[in-house]
Amino acid sequence: MKREAHKAVVRGKIISVARKLFLAQGYQKTKMRQIKEAASVEIGTIYHFYRSKEDIFEKIVLEAFFRVLERTSHFAEGNKLLHLACELSWHVHTMAQHAPSAELYLMSYNSPDIAAQLLINQIQRSKTIFGDRFPDRTDEDYKIYAMCARGLMQSISLQAVSGTLTEPDLIVRESIQLVFKIMDTPAEETKNVLEALAKLDIPEKVARVLTTAQK
């Protein structure tokens, strides 16, 4: 039991230091040697738990997406549409405020393995949010919706990396309106969600989290 607990600690330490390095200097500039030194482990220990740097990156990305999902759920207070809006806004403002994060987002959407997992997660999220409203929609319907959402986020991450994501608030509003329109959300309900979202000041919340993460 102690041995398993020790393994869990080592795995967690590797992920933790890799995350800090990725956020501080980007994925490409981070070397396995740096992760080894920061985690104070042997290189063989890292490869015992993870196949490659991309494998470490995949774990971090999926963990980060779930963390955003959990964090934004507290703001929405049970409102599924507001939760989706908060989630989208959090991702966009993270990319807009932090260039290394934008690079990580773009890499995750460009990675076949990570993108495939994110697509599965998005399909399930779509069912959770809109399933009660549209019980007749098929899995294929939700897959198409998820693919559209993925393409949208990939385009936004590309803008962020290229330095052309200059109006994140506008991008958030238009993206939410587009997504909600695809899912046949009434205009008045969309308006109410956007008004509620504006009051939450997601950009400021993102800034505080980014500051803490970089310490």
CATH number of the 1-50 domain: 1.10.10.60
Q: What are the phi and psi torsion angles at 24 (to 5°)?
A: -80, -40
Question: What are the residue boundaries of the structural domains of the chain, listed by start?
Answer: 1-50, 55-213
Q: In whole angstroms, how far apart are CA 82 and each of 5, 44, 56?
A: 39, 45, 32
Report the chain (215 residues): mean pLDDT per 10 consecutive residues.
78 90 85 93 92 89 89 91 96 93 88 87 89 88 89 94 94 95 92 97 94 71
Residue pair 46/35 in contact (Cβ under 8 Å)? The answer is yes
pTM of the entire structure? 0.86
